[in-house]
A and B are shown apart, each in its own frame.
Chain A
Amino acid sequence: MFSMDLLLGAVVLGVLLGCFYAAVSVGLSISFGLLDVPHVAHPAFLVLASYGVYQLNETYDIDPLLAGLAITPLFFLFGLLAYRVYYETFEKRGTDAGVRGIAFFFGIAFIIEVLIILQFGVDQRSVTATYIGKAWRFGEYRIPIRQLVAFAVALALTILLAVYLSKTFMGRAIRAVAQDEEALRLMGANPVRIKQFAFGIATAVLGIAGALLIIVAPVEPTLDRAYIGRTFCVVVMAGLGSISGTLIAAIILGVAESIVLTLFGASWAPAISFAMLLVVLAVRPQGLFGR
């Protein structure tokens, strides 16, 4: 039965979940929101990172967060390479790069799914750590420690990225490249190199986000499909490219999913993100904090 306690519990868990959603979406906020790259393979990169974390945790018993940190440089290089291929084959050649780029990134997403299945099989995989499996109890509430860890790391990651984008020369150039490439050339910055670097950062962040994904719950190869809706919903709702907006939009999604899950059951939760995406596109296409 519905009660205020139940609702309050759902909201608290929703806020924790929302911050986690911000961490998995914030890279897309750069690649899609700022650079206009139709990066539908973003969630596939995320799941790939989770499997990288799983492998390190399984083989060397490394803490999943440290494992995520360890694969971050690899993912940065992976991002540089992915953008370079996209740029040379699509963006450089014309204005309809967006439409053809979607096909390109969908292709990459499916290839990643298949490679994960070949390597790890279709079964769910999870990691072990001291903070997984325990819960905090006060009164009748029960909050899993893994959720708290994911919440704290996600919040720190998102804030760190927001500070990077507003306080460093490279961060400012990344925000400027979306606004006027030629003007940026006048400042002596090479727009293609800036965008490539930005895409590298957006992908590197997935090292940590992938660790959070597998800390929060077990992963499977096709998990990326559930996150296409969530990540794009968050980035579009935030207003393309706004990092603080990403955090707030992600919390709104997290709370909405959590309440629906509590009131109507788990099967409805995945539909929430697409429904919210459609509502945002219809009512406020520029997003909550949009340009």
Chain B
Amino acid sequence: MALSLAIEGLDAGYGAVKALRGVTLHVEAGETVALLGTNGNGKSTLMKCVMGLVRPDRGRLTLTIDGRAHDLARLPAEAIVDLGVALVPEGRRLFPRLTVLENLMLGAFRKAARSAIERNLALAYETFPALKERRSQLAGTMSGGQQQMLAIARALMSSPRLLLIDEPSVGLSPLLVSQTIAKIGELKQRVGLTVLMAEQNFNQAIRIADRGYIIVHGEIAVAAQSVEELKANDIVKRLYLGGVA
């Protein structure tokens, strides 16, 4: 099944502040693309634009499924979810006073998603066994790592084909970051997902990424065709690898 996301010349922001300027990037079917950049460079705004939560001021957001192009800038979030896009938001954004199971069920809120609930729930529990044990526990009472697992599992409940993941490593210990990234890679293989992942942690992100972009002050500073190319880049060396450019 062919699916691709193309973003061209995207400008977006809140009021006078421009969070994104002329952002152009693309994600092809089956790829895992990393969007790298430190805090406040516009990664989350980009994710929200794709999801229909923030409307761009200029530019195009096109999701092509089996040859049919959908203009995401004109669709409400409901329709974008129905097209098979899901976002694991920064800070996880669980419903803290609902149980684990209730959070998962809300992930399948759309009518189109409800027929696959049994299958997706089984997948979620198999991938994250801790969630099954804790399915009656309130989400807000779990540890950060478990909450991140739940946020990912909840996004999978709508049977997405394009999974957007915003900062999965924030607030987690290095070991948990490593486990979370590994789980994302594992899920990607199993379900055949296409993934766009925003991340600050360069070394963790490139473990599972096919290629990546670096975003600086709302603009794409580097568009690398491979992980090797990313590692060799001067900006990367300066920002992430501690080398002297």
**Shortest distance from the beta carbon of B86 to any chain A beta carbon, whole Å:** 7
**A185 adjacent to B95 (CB under 8 Å):** no
Contacts of B238 in A (CB 8 A): none
| A186 and B108 alpha carbons, distance in the complex (Å) | 11
| B-contact bits for A181-197, CB 8 A (1 contact / 0 none) | 01111111110000000
User: With an 8 A cutoff between CB atoms, is B93 at the interface?
Assistant: yes
**Chain B: CB-nearest residue to A170:** B109
Name which residue of chain B comes closest to A187, CB basis. Answer: B109
By a CB distance below 8 angstroms, the chain B residues around A179 are 95-98
**A183 B95 Cβ-Cβ under 8 A:** yes
Residue of B at shortest CB range from A176? B95
1/0 per position for A140-174, CB-CB distance to B under 8 A? 00000000000000000000000000100100110
Whether A187 lies near B106 (C-beta < 8 A) is yes
Q: Is the CB of A187 within 8 A of B158?
A: yes
Knowing A172-B106, A291-B97, the reply to whether A187 touches B81 (Cβ < 8 A) is yes
Judge whether B73 is part of the interface by a CB distance below 8 angstroms. Answer: no
CB distance from A187 to the nearest CB of B (A): 4
**Size of interface on B: residues with Cβ below 8 Å to A:** 29
Bound-state Cα–Cα, A189 to B105, Å: 13
Please tell me if the beta carbons of A190 and B86 are within 8 angstroms of each other in the complex.
no
CA distance A176 to B97 in the complex (A): 8
**CA A183 to CA B102, docked complex, whole Å:** 14
The residue from A169, A183, A188 contacting B89, defined by CB atoms under 8 A apart:
A183
Inter-chain contacts of A175 with B (CB < 8 A): 95, 97-98, 102
CB proximity to B under 8 Å, residues A215-264? none
A177 → B minimal CB distance (Å) = 9
Q: How far is the CA of A101 from the CA of B93 in the complex (A)?
A: 28
Across the interface, do A186 and B78 meet the contact criterion of CB distance under 8 Å?
A: no
Please judge, given known A-B contacts A172-B106, A173-B109, A175-B98, whether A180 and B78 are in contact too, CB under 8 Å: no
* CA of A179 to CA of B140, assembled, Å: 11
By the criterion CB–CB under 8 Å, are B109 and A189 in contact? yes
Residue of A nearest to B107 (CB): A187
B74 at interface (Cβ–Cβ under 8 A)? no
| Residue among A169, A182, A188 making CB contact with B78, cutoff 8 Å | A188
Contact pattern, B 75-101, Cβ under 8 Å of A = 1, otherwise 0: 011101110001101000111111000
State the Cβ distance, B70 to closest chain A Cβ, in Å.
Answer: 15
Which residue of chain A is the closest to B155 with respect to CB atoms? A186
Per the bound structure, the CA–CA distance linking A274 and B102 in Å amounts to 35
Closest to B86 in A: A186
Q: Give the distance in Å from the alpha carbon of A182 to the alpha carbon of B44 in the complex.
A: 13
Cβ of A185 and Cβ of B106 under 8 Å apart? no
How far is the CB of B14 from the nearest CB of chain A, in Å?
Answer: 14
Given the contacts A172-B105, A173-B106, A186 and B51 also touching, CB distance less than 8 Å: yes
In angstroms, how far is the closest chain A Cβ from the Cβ of B37? 21
Known: A176-B95, A183-B89. A188 touches B109 (CB 8 A): yes
Contact residues in B for A169 (Cβ distance below 8 Å): 105-106, 108-109, 114
Asked whether any CB of chain A lies closer than 8 Å to the CB of B134, the reply is: no
Is the CB of B58 closer than 8 A to any CB of chain A? no
Report chain A residues within 8 Å CB of B51: 186
CB distance from A97 to the nearest CB of B (A): 21
How many angstroms from the CA of A173 to the CA of B107 in the assembled complex?
10
Q: Which residue of B lies closest to A175 (CB)?
A: B98
**What are 23 A-B pairs with beta-carbon distances under 8 A?**
A169-B105, A172-B106, A173-B106, A175-B98, A175-B102, A176-B98, A179-B97, A182-B53, A183-B89, A183-B93, A184-B106, A185-B53, A185-B77, A186-B77, A186-B86, A186-B87, A186-B89, A187-B109, A188-B77, A188-B78, A188-B82, A188-B113, A190-B76
Interface residue ranges, A against B (CB under 8 Å): 166, 169, 172-173, 175-176, 179-180, 182-190, 291
